[in-house]
Structure 1
Amino acid sequence: MALKSVDQIVVGNEQSEGVGARVRRTIGSYSLRRLDPFLFLDEFKGEWPNGFPDHPHRGFETVSYLLKGAFQHEDFTGAAGLLEAGDVQWMTAGRGIVHSEIPGKNAGPVWGLQLWVNLKAKDKMVEPRYQEKKAKNIPRGEKDGVSVAVIAGESMGVKSPVQTLTPAYYLDFTIEPGCSFTQDVPQGWNSSLYVVQGSVTINSAKKVNVHELAVFSIDGTKISMSNAATSSEPVKLILIAGQPLNEPVVQHGPFVLTNEEDLMKTFDDYQKGKNGFEKAPGWKSKQGTEALKARGKQGRDL
């Protein structure tokens, strides 16, 4: 099958998000509102007490992948955990979750990526769940100067154990100078790659630089990637691909539904503590509260 062509390059410009955090948003920006089934792709940086204190979600999945530092997670069900460099958390918010995500207090600067994956209408009210993988447990492949961490999907004959309600690939490639690789993508899927270090050449022609997202044509099933022999460093990039849902998207902040009626009902559920938000009223995370106090803020920042 043919190589996918590059349809668009989106530059991730830095902006404020959460409380004191900085992100580079590509998917979900003015330049690329959505890439079905993906809603957001952020490269984030921060350091305690800056981060993302208590906030709700409904109707989609969040994928948090840490590149540096440590990130604490806590939610209103009592679940808590710590992500460190190379770890991933694939969270299905489903019918509703309220949580905080704050850099580790003594972990120094934090750097990572967060991807939002939409859910089909039939899956939007599933029970919340987490799939967390430590770096050492993420399957990897390596061939001819190219290595890949297979967070979701498959590459180099290696498959991820992560179960995605929306079929998707999430692959972390490192390509040494002078090396190349061609990745297969299922027919009809939307796909893109985001460069987090160096510059990559697509199809021996198109150069994509750090903090840029290449969006590919729907046609074709292969993506060719290479790092110039003259490069002074490896290129590190994230390739994501997903099966389009082809359903309406009605979104307000962290709530993603398919119609206005369900969106309004979600606000009512959240405010009244119903249908998955029973523990939301009055709940405050310990780490979020501590971080807000350290910044001189009170209450929730949604």
Structure 2
Amino acid sequence: MSQRTLQHIIPSHPSSDGDGVKIRRVAMFDLPATDPFLMLDELSSDNPDDYIGGFPPHPHRGMETLTYLRHGSLEHRDHLGNRGLITSGGAQWMSAGRGIIHSEMPALDMQLLHGFQLWINLPAKDKMSAPKYRDVPAAEIPQLEFPQAQVQVIAGAWNINGQSSEGPLMDLAADAGYLDIHLQAGASLTLTTPAEQRVIALVYKGQLNTSPQAPEKSLLVFGQGDELKLQAVNDAGLILLRGTPIREKVVHYGPFVMNSTEEIQQAIADYNSGRFGRD
């Protein structure tokens, strides 16, 4: 086994999106080391003023989103007639393909929102495919228990401390996998990972034992290898991602992710003309 080591530390930054929703964002559109992942947002607040405006209707093309909530609820609606509600511990997957217009709105009586939205790139051959959508309630997400550690297996097949598990989402672009990991101080986990895949982690709480030491709320980019060891300095929470690099040009404009400027211009024209998302 060859160990993965820490290669890059990318800080997250306060930002806002939708109707004034406060977030922390890591943008990765121009970072080959994080391919196929494009962006990861953390939404975390106990003040409804920070999130109550939600994300009113807006378009996407050429990418996938995976939204995972630790606390709170969000309702999805789109122009294809899909509608679903995810609550604490649940996830929501959407492959925009050739185009979808959707909204994500929080419950009005909610007092805490904590979740994450990941953007995954689609390869050129799939960017104009039909849109797809799926809700995954918390009851469908396996939770693994280890000494001083818990893992929610949200997407992909994993081997953790010699134990195999699969998440309910197995068809993400780039064969992506997604875990929510909680480690008590001093606890450790060892994961076997496909050597050809990228592995990154957003540490949203506490710190891991890394060299150099990464501050909380940072994205950690690990190098090549087929084994990753995680150890917590203090009580820690992290989103761990793996995916196969697509290695294609990324051209990004707002909610559109394509391979050329001409394709971006076509996406804008399709949206403005009302043709967006049609066959």
Kept in 2, the 8 Å contact 1:27–1:34? The answer is no
Asked if the contact 2:121/2:173 (under 8 Å) is kept, the reply is no
Residue 168 (str. 1) matches residue 176 (str. 2): yes
Deviations, residues 165-199 of structure 1 (Å, cap 9, x unaligned): 32111111111223111112211211111112221
Q: Residue 29 and residue 276 in structure 1: after superposition, are their counterparts in 2 closer, same or farther (change >3 A)?
A: closer
Residues 238 and 74 from structure 1, CA distance in 2 versus in 1: closer, same or farther, beyond 3 angstroms? same
Asked if the contact 2:193–2:226 (Cα under 8 Å) also holds between the matched residues in 1, the reply is yes
Question: What is the TM-score normalised by the length of structure 2?
Answer: 0.90
Matches of residues 221-260 of structure 1 in structure 2 within 5 Å?
221-228=226-233, 231=234, 234-260=235-261
The reply on whether 1:195 has 2:200 as its aligned counterpart is no
Provide the aligned C-alpha RMSD in A. Answer: 2.0
Contact residue 29 and residue 38 of structure 2 kept, 8 A: no
What corresponds to 2:19 in structure 1?
A: 19
Q: Is residue 210 of structure 1 aligned with residue 209 of structure 2?
A: no
Preserved CA contact (<8 Å) 2:21 2:52: no
Q: Match for residue 277 of structure 2?
A: 276
Cα distance in 2 between the residues matched to 1:260 and 1:29: 15
CA–CA separation in structure 2 for the residues paired with 1:90 and 1:29: 20
- Which position in structure 1 is the counterpart of 2:38? 39
The secondary structure found in structure 1 opposite 2:173 is: coil
1:1-302 superposed matches below 5 A: 1-28=1-28, 35-45=34-44, 47=48, 49-155=52-158, 156-162=163-169, 163-202=171-210, 205-217=211-223, 219-228=224-233, 231=234, 234-274=235-275, 276-277=277-278
Q: Give how far 1:143 is off.
A: 2.0
Residue range with higher mean Cα deviation, 145-154 or 39-48:
39-48
Q: Would you say how many aligned residue pairs link Structure 1 and Structure 2? A: 270
User: Match for 1:269: what amino acid?
Assistant: D
Report % sequence identity: 37
Amino acid at match of 1:159: E
The DSSP-based 3-state class of the residue aligned with 1:199 is coil
Q: Where does the alignment leave 5 or more consecutive residues of structure 1 unmatched?
A: 279-302
TM-superposition CA deviations, 1:192-246 (whole Å, max 9, x none): 11112221114xx4433321111111x2122111123xx3xx3111111110001
* CA contact 1:121–1:258 (8 Å) conserved in 2: yes
- CA distance change for structure 1 residues 264 and 11 in 2, over 3 Å: closer, same or farther? same
Matches of 2:77 and 2:227, distance apart in 1: 39
Higher mean alpha-carbon deviation, 114-123 vs 205-214, is at 205-214
C-alpha contact (below 8 Å) 1:250/1:263 kept by paired residues: yes
Q: Which SS does the other structure have where 2:209 is aligned?
A: strand
Ranges in structure 2 where 5+ consecutive residues have no aligned partner: none
**Alignment partners' CA distance in 2, 1:188 and 1:64:** 25
1:140–1:158 CA contact under 8 A, matched in 2:
no
Give the whole-Å Cα distance in 1 for the aligned partners of 2:113 and 2:187: 29
Aligned partner letter, 1:193: A
In 1, the alpha carbon distance for the partners of 2:237 and 2:264 equals 38
CA contact (8 A) 2:200 2:220 kept: yes
Q: Is the 8 A contact 1:71 1:110 kept in 2?
A: no
Residue type of the alignment partner of 1:126:
S
Q: 1:120 offset after TM fit, Å?
A: 0.8
Normalised TM-score (structure 1)? 0.83
1:94-116 per-residue CA deviation (whole Å, 9 max, x = no partner) reads 11110111211111231210000
Conserved 8 A contact 1:27-1:38: no
Structure 1 counterpart SS, 2:38: strand
Do the aligned partners of residues 110 and 255 (structure 1) sit closer, same or farther apart at CA in structure 2, a change above 3 Å counting? same
Tell which structure's C-alpha radius of gyration is larger.
Answer: 1
SS of residue in 1 equivalent to 2:189? strand
Residues in 2 aligned to 1:207 and 1:5: alpha-carbon distance in whole angstroms? 12
CA contact (8 A) 1:147 1:175 kept: yes
Are the equivalent residues in 1 in contact too, given 2:187–2:232 (CA < 8 A)? yes
Contact 1:270 1:277 in 2 (8 A): no
What is the aligned partner in structure 2 of residue 285 from structure 1? Answer: none
